[in-house]
């Protein structure tokens, strides 16, 4: 133990002699790890959040498709589905999209039945109960500068402006679900979009026994061939795919950081500086074993890698969970004018952290030790002359 | 042993900060599971939501799980961007330069 501590002391004093280089390596290494860990933490937290929240989604959503396009569903379809054994409830959903030319943002307009509770924990104010009332998401309130009891003007399908009184604003904690929502009564939404009576955007189906969802989806498809039933597990699977670290831009960020790390490790592995070579030669000349030199280089690698890993890890945790991943959200924002602030529940996976530690610390330490081993087994005189 | 002490102190400090953040995260998850997550789940149940409101630029990105997969010109739901240009060009800022508030006076004139 004492021998290890003494060799570690020597390794640290050797790093101290090359302060500039050592600090530069630690900073680059820590930044690379912070980027890799941020991608992993963000995607894991979003995936876990989606999995947890969407388990409360309807068991089945039934859409109607004509010529490969989404069409409105007649209410009679709801009756047909209700007759199937095992179906607890079928509720027509009325919703659609609205492009707001003023802010160049898209909103999702959603109709709610009047039977819903008026006061919810995540809403300031209340849900709309009458015509010309609406509740809006925090994103819509921000872009339109809305407060409670303000008026929201929207253009309906007949190109006529309508004024809605804002009775409720969804709190920022619900932004992940309701950032772009404008909720109004079903009848008001039907009138706004000019939906024909007896038609809905799609149907939400509740099923008594979750194990029968797939069977009932197949039955619906057989009874109503132009429909497309989407099961809850398909919804959850979609989010698994969306927030997989391999997807889209996150892969680009992840791959860039990985390449940067590989270059760093490669640079270390391909050779020693003349100063390091001379140091190894001198140590050999004054009686150090090859094993001692390898131990010295091992501790040197561990000191750099461990410090950089922990710095990067803390940086990633602060970036994602305390600051809301501002650097990554700028990358994945795309063209969304309304984009939620990530107030994520900090779901952490220790397994991921261990894998990241193994995949970043080990290659660096190995790439520090191998070139030193090559120099350490060579004659000290020729090493010093190289 | 000065450097050794400094190094071990730094590592211990960083480890304590990391462990602290992990404990904080664990407590947050436990408390939010009771309050915020259950409130959010109730919202999903009541409003019958199917998707997270993250990307609002296209219907297949606003509702990836509801996108018409069979339609030509629709991308795979996991794709985040339709055009690579979207990665380089920022969306328009939503800050309104001017806001007018119109209110009725007591006499009925605006």
Candidates B69, B49, B40; CA nearest to A58 is B49
Q: Is residue B106 part of a domain?
A: no
Q: Please tell me whether residues B7 and B38 are part of one structural domain.
A: yes
Residue A9 has pLDDT above 50, yes or no: yes
| B42 and B70 co-located in one domain | no
Assess whether B28 and B44 both reside in one domain: yes
- B8 and B21 co-located in one domain: yes
Please state, in angstroms and as integers, the Cα–Cα distance from residue A183 to each residue in A60, A167, A200, B59, following that order: 22, 10, 16, 18
- ipTM value: 0.80
Distance CA A9, CA A7 (A): 5
How far is A11 from A65, CA to CA, in rounded Å?
A: 69
Helices (H), A206-339: 213-223, 232-242, 248-269, 274-285, 290-317, 326-332
Angle at A240 between CA A234 and CA A244, to 5 degrees: 150
- The answer to whether residue B104 is domain-embedded is no
- Is B19 inside a domain boundary? yes
Flag if A63 and B66 touch (Cβ within 8 Å): yes
Domain match, B42 and B63 both: no
| Inter-chain touch A248–B28, beta carbons under 8 Å | no
**Partner-chain residue, chosen from A53, A68, A91, that has the shortest CB–CB distance to B68:** A68
Task: Note whether A248 contacts B36, CB cutoff 8 Å.
Answer: no
> Does B53 contact A69 at a Cβ distance shorter than 8 Å?
no
Tokens of B46: 């009541």
pLDDT in tens, A147-156: 999 999 999 9
Q: Are residues B41 and B78 in the same domain?
A: no
pLDDT, tens digit, 9 for 90 and up, residues A115-148: 777 667 789 999 998 889 999 999 999 999 999 9
Closest-CA distance, A347 to chain B, in angstroms, reads 7
Domain contains B95: no
Would B100 be classed as within a structural domain?
no
Element holding A97 (H helix, E strand): strand A95-100
**With helix as H, strand as E and coil as C, how does B36-101 read?**
HHHHHHHHHHHHCCCCCCCCCCCHHHHCHHHCCCCCCCCCCCCCCCCCCHHHHCCCCCCCCCCCCC
**Which residue did the predictor score with more confidence, A190 or A293?**
A190
Q: What is the pLDDT of residues B7-56, one digit of tens each?
A: 889 999 999 999 999 999 999 888 877 788 888 998 999 899 999 998 88
Which of A186, A135, A191 has the alpha carbon at shortest distance from A162? A191
Q: Are residues B58 and B41 in the same domain?
A: no
Question: How many domains does the structure of chain B reveal?
Answer: 2
Q: How sure is the predictor about A226, in pLDDT bands with cuts at 50, 70 and 90? A: very high
pLDDT score, position A277: 78
- B44 and B56 fall within a common domain: no
The half-sphere exposure of A254 on its side-chain side, counting CA atoms within 13 A, is: 17
| B40, B56: one domain | no
**pLDDT of B100:** 72
Q: How confident is the model at residue A383 (pLDDT cuts 50, 70, 90)?
A: low
* DSSP category for residue A118: S
Residue A155, burial from CB neighbour count under 10 angstroms (0-12, 13-18, 19+): middle
My answer on whether B26 and B39 are in the same domain is yes
Do B37 and B75 belong together in one domain?
no
B1 and B26 both lie in a single domain: yes
Write out the two tokens for A369.
């030790």
Residues of chain B with Cβ-Cβ distance to A234 below 8 Å are: 65
Structural domain that includes position B80: 51-90
Among residues A122, A176, A182, the alpha carbon closest in space to that of A151 is found at A182
Is residue A384 very low, low, confident or very high in pLDDT (cuts 50, 70, 90)? low
How close A314 gets to chain B, by Cα (Å)? 6
- The per-residue pLDDT for range A311-351, each reduced to its tens digit, is 999 999 999 988 888 888 777 777 778 888 877 888 888 89
């Amino acid at each position: 133990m004492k021998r290890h501590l003494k060799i570690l002391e020597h390794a640290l004093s050797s790093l101290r002699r090359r302060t500039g280089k050592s600090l530069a390596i630690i900073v680059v290494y820590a930044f690379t790890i912070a980027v890799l860990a941020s991608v992993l933490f963000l995607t894991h937290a979003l995936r876990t959040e989606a999995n947890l929240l969407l388990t409360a989604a309807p068991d089945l959503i039934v859409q109607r498709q004509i010529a490969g396009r989404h069409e409105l569903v007649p209410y009679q379809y709801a009756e047909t589905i209700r007759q199937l054994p095992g179906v607890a409830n079928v509720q027509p959903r009325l919703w659609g999209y609205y492009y707001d030319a003023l802010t160049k943002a898209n909103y999702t307009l959603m109709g709610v039945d009047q039977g819903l509770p008026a006061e919810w924990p995540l809403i300031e104010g209340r849900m709309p109960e009458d015509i010309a009332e609406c509740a809006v998401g925090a994103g819509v309130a921000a872009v339109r500068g809305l407060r409670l009891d303000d008026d929201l003007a929207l253009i309906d399908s007949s190109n006529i402006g309508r004024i809605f009184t804002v009775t409720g604003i969804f709190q920022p904690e619900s932004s992940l679900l309701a950032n772009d929502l404008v909720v109004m009564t079903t009848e008001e939404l039907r009138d706004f979009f000019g939906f024909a009576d007896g038609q809905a955007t799609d149907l939400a189906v509740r099923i008594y026994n979750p194990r029968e969802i797939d069977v009932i989806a197949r039955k619906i498809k057989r009874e109503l061939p132009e429909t497309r039933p989407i099961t809850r597990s398909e919804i959850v699977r979609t989010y698994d795919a969306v927030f997989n670290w391999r997807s889209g831009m996150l892969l680009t960020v992840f791959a860039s950081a990985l390449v940067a790390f590989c270059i760093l490790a490669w640079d270390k592995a391909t050779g020693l500086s003349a100063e390091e070579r001379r140091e190894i030669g001198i140590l050999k000349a004054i009686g150090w074993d090859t094993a001692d030199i390898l131990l010295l280089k091992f501790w040197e690698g561990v000191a750099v890698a461990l410090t950089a890993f922990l710095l990067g890890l803390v940086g990633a945790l602060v970036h994602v969970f305390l600051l809301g991943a501002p650097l990554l959200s700028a990358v994945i924002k795309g063209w969304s004018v309304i984009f939620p602030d990530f107030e994520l529940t900090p779901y952490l996976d220790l397994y991921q952290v261990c894998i990241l530690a193994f995949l970043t610390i080990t290659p660096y330490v190995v790439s520090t030790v191998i070139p030193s081993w090559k120099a350490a087994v060579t004659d000290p005189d020729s090493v010093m002359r190289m | 042993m000065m450097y050794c002490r400094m190094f071990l102190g730094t590592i211990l400090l960083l480890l304590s900060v990391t462990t602290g953040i992990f404990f904080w995260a664990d407590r947050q998850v436990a408390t939010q599971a009771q309050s915020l997550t259950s409130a959010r789940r109730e919202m999903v149940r009541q409003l019958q939501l199917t998707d997270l409101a993250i990307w609002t630029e296209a219907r297949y990105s606003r509702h990836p799980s509801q996108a018409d997969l069979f339609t030509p010109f629709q991308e795979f739901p996991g794709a985040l961007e339709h055009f690579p240009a979207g990665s380089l060009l920022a969306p328009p800022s939503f800050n309104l330069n001017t806001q007018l508030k119109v209110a009725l006076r007591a006499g009925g004139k605006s």
